[in-house]
Amino acid sequence: MKKVINSTEAVVRELCGGMVKAYPDLISLDEDHSIISRKELNVNKVSLISGGGSGHEPAHAGFVGKGMLDAAVCGDVFASPSIMQVYHAILQTASDKGTLLIIKNYTGDMLNFEGAAAMAIEDDGVRIESVCVNDDVAITDIAERRGVAGTLFVHKIAGALAEEGASLQEVKAVAEKVIKSIRTMGFALTSCTVPARGNPTFDLGEGEIEIGVGIHGEAGIFRREMATASVIAQEIVDRIVTDLPYNADDEVALLVNGLGGTPIQELFILNNEVEKILRRRDVRVYKTMVGNYMTSIDMAGASVTLLKLDGELKRLLDAPADTIAWKTCPKG
**Would you tell me which residues interact with its own copies (CB under 8 A)?**
2-7, 11, 14-19, 21-23, 54-55, 57-58, 189-190, 206-207, 209, 226, 228-230, 232, 256, 260-273, 275, 285, 288-290, 292, 295, 297-298, 300, 302, 320, 322, 327, 329-330, 332
Q: How many CA atoms lie within 13 A of 189 on its CB side?
A: 19
Closer residue to its own copies in complex, CB, 83/285: 285
In the complex, minimum distance from the CB of residue 185 to its own copies, in angstroms, rounded to a whole number: 14
Closer residue to its own copies in complex, CB, 57/100: 57
Residue 33 appears among annotated catalytic residues: no
Contacts of 73 (CB under 8 A, 6+ apart): 33, 34, 35, 49, 50, 51, 52, 81, 85, 86, 89
In the complex, minimum distance from the CB of residue 254 to its own copies, in angstroms, rounded to a whole number: 8
Please say whether the beta carbons of 235 and 187 come within 8 A: yes
Closer residue to its own copies in complex, CB, 95/151: 151
Catalytic residue among 56, 60, 88, 155: 56
| CA–CA gap between residue 33 and residue 54 (Å, rounded) | 13
Tell me, what DSSP letter sits at residue 318? Answer: S
Contacts of 1 (CB under 8 A, 6+ apart): 193, 195, 198, 199
In the complex, minimum distance from the CB of residue 118 to its own copies, in angstroms, rounded to a whole number: 31
Q: Which residues of 267-290 are buried (b: 16+ CB within 10 A; e: fewer)?
A: bebbbebbbebbeebebebeeebb
Parallel, antiparallel, or unpaired for β 284-291 and 128-133? Answer: unpaired
In the complex, minimum distance from the CB of residue 119 to its own copies, in angstroms, rounded to a whole number: 29
Length of the chain: 332
* Main-chain phi, psi angles of 122, to 5 degrees: -70, -50
Please say whether the beta carbons of 284 and 222 come within 8 A: no
In the complex, minimum distance from the CB of residue 75 to its own copies, in angstroms, rounded to a whole number: 13
> Residue 110, Cβ neighbours under 10 Å: how many?
17
| CA–CA gap between residue 28 and residue 100 (Å, rounded) | 20
Residue 60 appears among annotated catalytic residues: no
Closer residue to its own copies in complex, CB, 83/227: 227
Catalytic residue among 33, 60, 88, 216: 216
Closer residue to its own copies in complex, CB, 36/120: 36
Tell me, what DSSP letter sits at residue 200? Answer: B
In the complex, minimum distance from the CB of residue 117 to its own copies, in angstroms, rounded to a whole number: 27
Closer residue to its own copies in complex, CB, 47/80: 80
Active site residue ranges: 56, 216
